[in-house]
Copies of this chain bind each other. A is one copy, B any other.
Amino acid sequence: MRPSPPLEDEQLAEACKALGHPARLAIFRHLMAEDRCVCGRIVEIVPLAQSTVSQHLKVLREAGLVSGEVEGPRTCYCIDKAFLARFRRTLDRLADPAVITEPA
């Protein structure tokens, strides 16, 4: 039972890249705050066309950070917390290989 194996390099790069755009970062942050959120709600928040938002959501979804499920006529998005845990773990390992101990 290893719930959180680290990401492969390519997955990590893809996830970073997905967060590497201000609009997607804003969407991600909003999803963290709202927990569950329908696409139209996001369109209200960010100053972008609906098709553009949908595209950004697709990028986040394909990166694994976000998952969306269809609920009747609309789609509800939320953070994939299991993936997020792996993402964080991977970043921690990358940025702290027990060698940075000297802040001076």
Contacts and interface: CB of A to CB of B under 8 A. Distances in A.
Contacts of A28: 94
- How many copies of this protein are present in the complex? 2
- Majority secondary structure of chain A interface residues (helix, strand, loop or mixed): helix
Interface residues on A, range: 35 or more
Nearest to A87: B95
Interface in A1-28: 3, 9-10, 12-22, 25-26, 28
B91 A88 contact: yes
A81 to B, nearest CB: 6
Interface of A: 3, 9-10, 12-22, 25-26, 28-29, 32-33, 35, 79, 81-82, 84-85, 87-88, 91-92, 94-97, 99-100, 102-103
